[in-house]
């Protein structure tokens, strides 16, 4: 297959969107028996649109098949001051097993190495093909996450513990002035910097993002959780918090707010948060998948709790 790795043009976004839609649904229908995207193929535009707004269009990478004159693979590079994150990676169903993903990943790994930064991603532990692509390149897992959802979330029927209820009472929606406090919290707990991301979420120009924060007794932000609600993605995250009770308070608030819009978001919880996971089960949560946080180039495990998302990773 005569494939070259290129930078995508904005006029190729729709083709990329359709690739994301068909590739993801093909894998889930074959291996899980359901579709990942229930809206039409244009819903995949969320990905190039958002990553271009955050990082510039030059960070959308495609695999171009010159014989077929079409895109057969795509991925998003998410450069940050402290690291580079890898966005959603897709290969056209017709090109599954033809080494398109390794070519894309080798190109992006070289970019990260040239920049002197670690490369991070969150991958499905149930997709052994993709896990193998990352593992062969040298990615090392540092965190395991349970993808969870509560199909019939009824906040009025949930009995929160006194500790979680007290925290939930003080959760508020974030404002632009909160960004420095959020960045300071993330730096303390993870050593990472997502200033651009949180600024973008809170400004919410697209009308699809929400972000909530908690403050400690001294008025410092001690927990944050974002959320996206769009035909292309309905999730909680990203989030960073100090304790499991803070995480539960934010999840409860976010799910309650999204329910008002008719949404049932998926959210990723670290498996190490055993007490919180048990509490979420008591709320009616069920597992939908397992994901693994992985890193190439060395990284430390977070000191607190991190809830990743897929838009953006």
pLDDT at position 300 is 81
Residue 7's pLDDT is what? 95
Spatial CB neighbours of 277, under 8 Å, sequence gap ≥ 6: 146, 269, 271
Q: Residue range 79-88: average pLDDT?
A: 93
pLDDT at 294 over 70: yes
User: How confident is the model over 31-82, as pLDDT tens digits?
Assistant: 899 989 989 999 999 999 999 999 988 899 999 999 989 999 999 999 999 9
d(CA 27, CA 23): 6
Question: In the chain, what are the domains?
Answer: 3-117 (3.40.630.30), 146-307 (3.40.630.30)
As a whole number of Å, the CA-based R_g of the chain is: 19
Residues 266-287: what's their mean pLDDT?
97
Structure confidence by residue, pLDDT tens digits, 106-147 = 999 999 999 999 999 999 999 998 899 999 999 999 999 999
Q: What's the pLDDT band for 1 if we cut at 50, 70, 90?
A: low
How far apart CA 72 and CA 93 sit, in angstroms, is: 8
| 92 Cβ contact list (under 8 Å, min separation 6) | 19, 22, 23, 70, 71, 72, 73, 100
pTM: predicted TM-score of the whole model, two decimal places: 0.94
Confidence of residue 95 (pLDDT cuts 50, 70, 90): confident
Q: Which of 166, 250, 257 is nearest to 213 (CA)?
A: 250
Half-sphere exposure of 242 (CA within 13 A, CB side): 13
Cβ contact 265:254 at 8 Å: yes
């Amino acid at each position: 297959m005569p494939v070259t790795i290129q930078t995508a043009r904005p006029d190729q976004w729709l083709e990329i969107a359709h690739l994301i839609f068909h590739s993801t649904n093909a894998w889930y229908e074959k291996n899980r028996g359901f579709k990942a995207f229930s809206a039409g193929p244009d819903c995949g535009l969320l990905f190039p649109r958002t990553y271009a707004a955050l990082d510039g269009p030059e960070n959308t990478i495609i695999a171009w098949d010159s014989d077929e004159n079409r895109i057969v693979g795509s991925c998003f590079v998410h450069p940050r001051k402290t690291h580079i994150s890898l966005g959603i990676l897709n290969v056209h169903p017709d090109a599954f097993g033809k080494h398109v993903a390794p070519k894309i990943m080798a190109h992006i790994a070289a970019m990260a190495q040239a920049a002197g930064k670690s490369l991070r991603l969150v991958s499905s532990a149930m997709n052994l093909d993709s896990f193998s692509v990352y593992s062969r390149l040298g990615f090392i897992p540092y965190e395991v996450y349970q993808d969870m959802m509560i199909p019939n979330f009824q906040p009025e029927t949930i009995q929160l513990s006194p500790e979680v209820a007290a925290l939930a009472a003080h959760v508020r929606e974030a404002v632009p002035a909160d960004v420095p406090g959020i960045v300071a919290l993330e730096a303390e707990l993870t050593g990472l910097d997502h200033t651009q991301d949180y600024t973008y979420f809170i400004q919410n120009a697209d009308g699809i993002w929400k972000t909530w924060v908690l403050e400690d007794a001294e008025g410092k932000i001690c927990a944050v959780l974002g959320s996206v609600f769009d035909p292309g993605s309905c999730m909680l995250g990203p989030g960073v918090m100090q304790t499991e009770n803070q995480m539960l308070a934010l999840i409860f608030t976010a799910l309650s707010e999204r329910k008002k819009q008719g949404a049932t978001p998926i959210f990723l919880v670290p498996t190490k948060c055993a007490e919180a996971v048990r509490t979420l089960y008591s709320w009616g949560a069920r597992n939908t998948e397992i994901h693994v946080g992985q890193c190439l180039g060395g990284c430390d495990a977070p000191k607190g709790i991190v809830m990743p998302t897929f838009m953006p990773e």
